[in-house]
Structure 1
Amino acid sequence: MSSVYNNKPRILPASAPPSQIAHYTGPQAAAEPDELLPMQHYMWLLRRAWWKIALFVVTCTALTAVACFLMTPVYEATVRLAVDSKVPASVIGQDSATPNISDVEEFLTTEIDLLQSDAVLRPVAKAYHLLPRDKKGKEFLPAGSVTLPGLTITHPASSLLLKITYRSKDPRKAADVANAVAHSYIDEAMDMRLHSSMNLSGFMAKQLDDLKANMDKSAEALTTYQRQLGVIDPEQQTSILSARVAQLNSEYTEAENDRIRKQTAYQGVKSGNASAIDISTQAEQLTRLQQQMQDAEQAMAIVQTHYGPNNANYKVAANTLAEVTREYQAARDNTGRRIQTDFAQADTREKMLAATLAAAKAQSDALSLKSLEYQQLKRDADANKTLYNELFQKIKEAGINSGFQNSSIRIADEARPQNAPVFPKKGIFIFIGFFLSGVIAVAATLLSDMMDKSVRDPEQARRSLQVEVLGILPDVLQLKPAGRQLLLKSGSDVPAPVAGKQPLDWSRTQDAYTEAIRTMRSLVLLERTREKLRSVQVTSAVAGEGKSTCTAHLAIAHAMQGRKTLLIDADLRRPSQHNHFSLPNEEGLADVIMDGRSLADVLHTIEGIENLHVVTAGASAMRAAHLVGNKMAALLTDAEQDYDLVLIDTPPMLGLAEPIQIACSVDGVLLITQAGETNQDAVAAAIGTLNRLDVRILGLVLNKVRREMSSTYQHFGVYGQYDERVLNAS
């Protein structure tokens, strides 16, 4: 058990405390676990660590400034190239009216790559001795492409500019190299264009010879064919024949129609059809004779009714009828012969036209076949001639365009030596160093506070441990033994100011500690919401928290109020109350437990404090440590009959059994923790143990609080000023 007691848990180092809060006048309600820290807390952290932050910022800024002044300055020069997207590719020809650039962005990307090509950079590197050097410092040509480390090519957005920027330690060299790269690029572009035009001209010259031979051959074939045909222009002859065939075809059609019409009339006459004669050309004469014959017949009929055959009138009428009938029959016979003759002539004409048309068609077809071959030969000759003329024109245009030195990219602004270096930017670097160091310092301050898991101030303890904070005890420079009379007199420990010396901080004096003890005593014992406390256990989570000192001063403060107080040193493993009060330790609580003696036999009175009795641990304390917990309840029952308050100083809660047993026998437990040292987990474990036993936890007391730990500690200075005014007035 003793080994556990002596092994104090590892405590994280103290860091920044929480926010400012008012002076504690009573218990505080527990906060929600997820309550956030107020902004004032972080502001207090920064104010507390301002000199560390300032020192870090000043140091980093100074180092940045020194580094900037030690750096070799680098100068930058920039050449601006303007791109004209509307410049034609050629001075003459079809391309003379077409812009040289169709896609500007694609063109600029290509030109940026060309600007960084070996063909452009190698001449510049040679001229300005920018080639790589070997171990002996001699320049050598690399096997791959030449690059210039200080060269950058950029294209500003929404513009038709290219920027060639070069950096060097020499401002003149930076400008010269940038200008040289621009001129090398333009010269290389011109050379590429000239070589391309010359190669194109040479290629087209070879093709021109072949085309000329083909053109002469096709022209000779066309002439030979014309001689064979015997006509200069077969196409014209073909047109004439085509017109003749069309005319013959029309005449043949008319003759055929005429022959059919006359053949029909002839067939009608031949068959005795009178209607066929009626459609002939003699139809009018026959109609007239037929009418005369009918008139004669009517006259004959009349005469026959009146006269006989021997009558002269009868004979005249008969002769007239006979004459008219003969003329009609002769005319009709003559018309039949005429129709036959017309038919024969029409048939003969039709046959002649058919023969003539067939001959003309045959001649036209033969000439058409030859015309097709002639047209093919002529097209070949014309095509070869046209191609030859076009190629010859292209060669002439290429020769002229090759000497055309226009370019879509030109130098708009040459580089000039600059007076101010671009690196290092001293003002910017120093500002960045100042800003970053400030950010790092602030972040480190806040991070260290967040990583600090120790109990530091009441607000943080209330929030993280869910327990009330009843007292804040300052870290006194030289805490005197509790039994001395000087401790009990308010203001007696404050020395008078000495001229030329820094005034003593009252918050680090014994009087400040005494005032804190009295405040804590009032908060613990004057609470009216619950029954009156008769026994209080004072303990801590781990050893070294100052619980014994706190218990001794709390006992004195309560006794000074005229209350009978008993202080029992139940820390039998490491007793200390006999040292605080300069008492002998031969007899004590161990004798009561081991030998069955009464408390009255081992009581010690304190000189100058009437109402305070102390029971020390005793010489054989270690042997009685495992028994004190079982017998404490009976001892407290007897002691509470004679005393207003019994204070029990016990070992730490963690790792030992007796403080847990004693806690079940007292009216309340007061936990002491050292601010900035005790880990929250240790205090939380002790509180958890007491909660599981359903023990009444009076609250938490923060011991050895320093001004830099918490803004809550500032109120002690007010009391110091008040005491100083009282002393000065007296």
Structure 2
Amino acid sequence: MDRQPDSLPTLTKTNGKSPYPPMQNADATDTEEEKWDLGWLVAVTRRRALLMAGVVVGTTLLAGGLFLFLTRLTLPEYEGKFQLLVEPITTEEQLARSSTRAQGSDVDIQRINIEQSNLDYESQIRILESPKLLDSLISQVRQRYPDITYETLIKNLKISRITSLSLDKKEQGTKLIEVRYQDTDPEKVKFILDKLSQIYLNYSLKERQSTIRRGIEFIDTQLPPLRQRVDSLQQQIQALRQRYNISDPEQQGKQLIETIGRLDQLKAENQTQLAEAQAKRDALVRLLQNAHPQTVLGNQPLLGEKSYYEELLKQYQQVQSQIALESSRLLPENPAIQELLEKRKNLQNLLKQEANRVIETATDSITVAQARRQAINQAEAETNQKIRQLSGITRQYSDLQRELLLAIDSLNKFAARQEALQIDAAQQEIPWELTIPPRLELDSLGQPLKVNSVSKVRFLALIFVLAVLLGVGVGFLVDISQDLLYTTDDVKRATRLRLLGVIPHNKSRFLAVSVPAKEAFRSLSKNLRLLSKNHTPLRSLTITSAEEGDGKSTIALHLAMTAAAMGQRVLLVDADLRHPKIHELLNLPKQPGFTNLLQSDQDIQSLLQSPPECPNLMVLTAGNPAFDLVELFTANRVEPLFQKLHTMFDLVIFDTPPLLRLADTGLVAAQCDSLALVVRLGKTSRPSVLATLEELKFSSTAVVGVIANDAPETASLTHSHYHLAGKS
């Protein structure tokens, strides 16, 4: 199965189109790049193995030896410590705990020792480290250790507050202070810690007693004014009650509000009664004044049940009936009729009198209702006046009561604290406590622990690891600073061009090559022929390089000889007119040659030379040197000349100068089908190759690939075998 050729970069174009197979897909390219990166790391490690090993060994020996030397010079140090509880539970705090427990807050009870601390620990630690306290210690220690000073003592003394994690994982301070001391003599450490603990305890006792005395004196000065304040407020409240005849303004206010409510209800009822009485009086007036008795009988409900007016009406009706009856049988002048008429007249007068009385009675009801309304209004006004007056009294009473409560609360607190301080002063016990007595740090065997001891094995292992990292870093730094192409993978990664062939390092000189080199040139020639298979035939090829000394002339010569040996009619042209080499390699005369052909219309056959070792190979040497090569290659005869050479030979190979900074190589390449770039491994730099490829972007010549020169034989054999296997 034939192997597909590698891809060409976008710069390999001929008239806008590449005559050779396109690049492979992106996924395959990414995979190759990953392999190349790993291969580059391995290659750098191999190339710089000796440098890396030297750095590792040197660093390990130097640092390890220095560490061992310093370890022998360093004296072992020992450390001891003790811990102090600097805020023990006092009677005052017990009262606070009892108050908190009564409120049912368990969390506050747990944190009361910390959150209610009034001690400035930073200042306290500075006091404990001050010469004022430590001078007494130094005077005691000097009797046994005369060399002790405040500077040496404070240098090895460390005092800190112990912290812990709270329930919410936050660091918080405790009421414990830890004191540590280091020295090369464990007995000295224990002696100093014993003395120091006693000094701190005695200091705390004196400080505590002094603080308690100052607290008691302060409270004694505050209690009398507080008592006077309480008495004064109580007297003011009593005078206020007596003045306004109230016991509780709040209760009095509620009663007045209830009275206002009742008066409003009575006022409404009175208004209704007054309206009813006025309506009844008006109805009676209309009914009784100038009304016929029969009309009055029709509106009897206005008069009330069993009223005197009703009796008179009944009598009047009876007399009226008798008159009607007697009038039918007696004359008007009859005494009986006259008597009845007189009686009716008397009844009419009585009815009018009774009607006036009834109206007066209804009017009296109105008068009573109006008088009652006036009384209700007066009571309401008096009650509102009391309410307005009571609001000011209530405000004054509340202010006095609030001030009294605050004064009583302050008085009680001061009295309780006075009692607590008196109890603490009477106890005569040390306020600071040793939770951990002075002791040395011991190891698992019970011996004093060396705090400055370091595991030699671990430290030497760490030095070795750091030395390895330093060695690897130095190796890669040196390799990167040189920035040379060492392997074929470096070439692929830098150029992104197909690798046409890998030529091994040849120990022989000139035309004698080793067997691996012959196989490499055969593989190169075969690859070039495969490129033109089923595509545009490869008739001419420019061989160039990025730098001088990359071996392009030797590769051009051996490629031409190999192609000729494989049956092609090949012409090798030495176009490196500045430094020609082909005539030296073949031991041929330099003149006449290529420059003569460019300057005049000479016969091509007369200028060609044939090496005796290869009959199918013709050579056109450089010829006479020219002063203006650019003008020589831009003459009108150049293009017809190159076309004629293409028709005369199967393959024309041009050996040109390095491409950078020279224009004649590009002019020659512009007349050829393709160009191959020679890179010498371990010598050609990456920036030169990249600059060459950048310059080739302005050329219309297709770059068919790269030829890696001076490679190890294993690399060339692998590349040659890979292509031969693909061919088969």
Provide the TM-score with structure 1 as the length reference.
0.56
Pair 609,389 (structure 1): closer, same or farther in 2 beyond 3 Å: closer
| Pair 1:155 & 2:159 matched | no
Query: Which residue pairs with 2:576 in the alignment?
Result: 571
Task: Please give the per-residue CA displacement for 1:574-616, whole angstroms capped at 9, x wherever unaligned.
Answer: 1111121222223222222234333322322223222222221
Following TM superposition, by how much is the alpha carbon of 1:570 offset from its aligned partner in structure 2, in angstroms?
A: 0.7
| In structure 2, distance between residues paired with 1:174 and 1:529 | 94
Query: Which residue pairs with 1:514 in the alignment?
Result: 518
| In structure 1, distance between residues paired with 2:51 and 2:116 | 56
Query: Which residue pairs with 1:274 in the alignment?
Result: none
Query: Which residue pairs with 1:67 in the alignment?
Result: 66
Pair 395,140 (structure 1): closer, same or farther in 2 beyond 3 Å: closer
Following TM superposition, by how much is the alpha carbon of 1:514 offset from its aligned partner in structure 2, in angstroms?
A: 3.0
Question: 1:424-435 residue pairs with structure 2 within 5 A?
Answer: 424-435=454-465
| In structure 2, distance between residues paired with 1:114 and 1:387 | 28
Pair 452,94 (structure 1): closer, same or farther in 2 beyond 3 Å: same
CA contact (8 A) 2:85 2:433 kept: yes
Q: Paired residue for 2:179, among 130, 149, 164?
A: 164
Instruction: Give the root-mean-square deviation of aligned CA atoms.
Output: 4.8
| In structure 1, distance between residues paired with 2:94 and 2:530 | 112
Query: Which residue pairs with 1:702 in the alignment?
Result: 708
Query: Which residue pairs with 1:541 in the alignment?
Result: 546
What amino acid is aligned across from residue 77 of structure 1 in structure 2? E
CA contact (8 A) 2:441 2:449 kept: no
CA contact (8 A) 2:79 2:450 kept: no
What amino acid is aligned across from residue 124 of structure 2 in structure 1? L
| In structure 2, distance between residues paired with 1:398 and 1:443 | 70
CA contact (8 A) 2:45 2:475 kept: no
CA contact (8 A) 1:533 1:645 kept: yes
Query: Any stretches of 5+ residues in structure 1 without a counterpart?
Result: 1-23, 132-136, 219-385, 488-509, 720-730
Question: 1:364-513 residue pairs with structure 2 within 5 A?
Answer: 397=423, 399-401=425-427, 403-412=428-437, 414-416=439-441, 418-445=448-475, 453-476=483-506, 478-482=507-511, 486-487=512-513, 510-513=514-517
What amino acid is aligned across from residue 81 of structure 1 in structure 2? Q
| In structure 1, distance between residues paired with 2:416 and 2:699 | 112
| In structure 2, distance between residues paired with 1:480 and 1:388 | 112
Task: Please give the per-residue CA displacement for 1:97-145, whole angstroms capped at 9, x wherever unaligned.
Answer: 89998342785994465334355666557756999xxxxx999878xx9
| In structure 2, distance between residues paired with 1:445 and 1:147 | 48
CA contact (8 A) 1:670 1:701 kept: yes
Query: Which residue pairs with 1:37 in the alignment?
Result: 34
SS of alignment partner, residue 117 of structure 1 = helix
After TM superposition, the structure 1 stretch with the greater mean CA deviation from structure 2, 102-111 or 626-635, is 102-111
Pair 543,89 (structure 1): closer, same or farther in 2 beyond 3 Å: same
Pair 439,602 (structure 1): closer, same or farther in 2 beyond 3 Å: same
SS of alignment partner, residue 586 of structure 1 = coil
| Pair 1:594 & 2:599 matched | yes
CA contact (8 A) 1:673 1:701 kept: yes
CA contact (8 A) 1:573 1:622 kept: no
Query: Which residue pairs with 2:170 in the alignment?
Result: none
| In structure 1, distance between residues paired with 2:418 and 2:162 | 41
CA contact (8 A) 2:190 2:438 kept: no
| In structure 1, distance between residues paired with 2:418 and 2:566 | 129
Query: Which residue pairs with 1:375 in the alignment?
Result: none
CA contact (8 A) 1:588 1:619 kept: yes
What amino acid is aligned across from residue 546 of structure 1 in structure 2? G
Query: Which residue pairs with 2:210 in the alignment?
Result: 195
| In structure 1, distance between residues paired with 2:719 and 2:202 | 85
Calculate percent identity across the aligned residue pairs.
20
CA contact (8 A) 2:82 2:193 kept: no
CA contact (8 A) 1:534 1:640 kept: yes
SS of alignment partner, residue 102 of structure 1 = helix
Following TM superposition, by how much is the alpha carbon of 1:572 offset from its aligned partner in structure 2, in angstroms?
A: 0.5
SS of alignment partner, residue 148 of structure 1 = helix
SS of alignment partner, residue 157 of structure 1 = strand
CA contact (8 A) 1:593 1:624 kept: no
After TM superposition, the structure 1 stretch with the greater mean CA deviation from structure 2, 93-102 or 444-453, is 93-102
| In structure 1, distance between residues paired with 2:464 and 2:709 | 39
CA contact (8 A) 1:27 1:469 kept: no
| In structure 1, distance between residues paired with 2:417 and 2:598 | 130
Following TM superposition, by how much is the alpha carbon of 1:537 offset from its aligned partner in structure 2, in angstroms?
A: 1.0
Provide the TM-score with structure 2 as the length reference.
0.56
What amino acid is aligned across from residue 117 of structure 1 in structure 2? I
Larger Rg: 1
Following TM superposition, by how much is the alpha carbon of 1:414 offset from its aligned partner in structure 2, in angstroms?
A: 1.9
| In structure 1, distance between residues paired with 2:529 and 2:599 | 32
What amino acid is aligned across from residue 671 of structure 1 in structure 2? L
| In structure 2, distance between residues paired with 1:88 and 1:152 | 22
| In structure 1, distance between residues paired with 2:413 and 2:490 | 98
| In structure 2, distance between residues paired with 1:157 and 1:139 | 35
| Pair 1:715 & 2:718 matched | yes
| In structure 2, distance between residues paired with 1:636 and 1:75 | 90
Following TM superposition, by how much is the alpha carbon of 1:92 offset from its aligned partner in structure 2, in angstroms?
A: 12
After TM superposition, the structure 1 stretch with the greater mean CA deviation from structure 2, 410-419 or 695-704, is 410-419
Task: Please give the per-residue CA displacement for 1:351-385, whole angstroms capped at 9, x wherever unaligned.
Answer: xxxxxxxxxxxxxxxxxxxxxxxxxxxxxxxxxxx
> How many pairs align?
489
CA contact (8 A) 2:40 2:490 kept: no
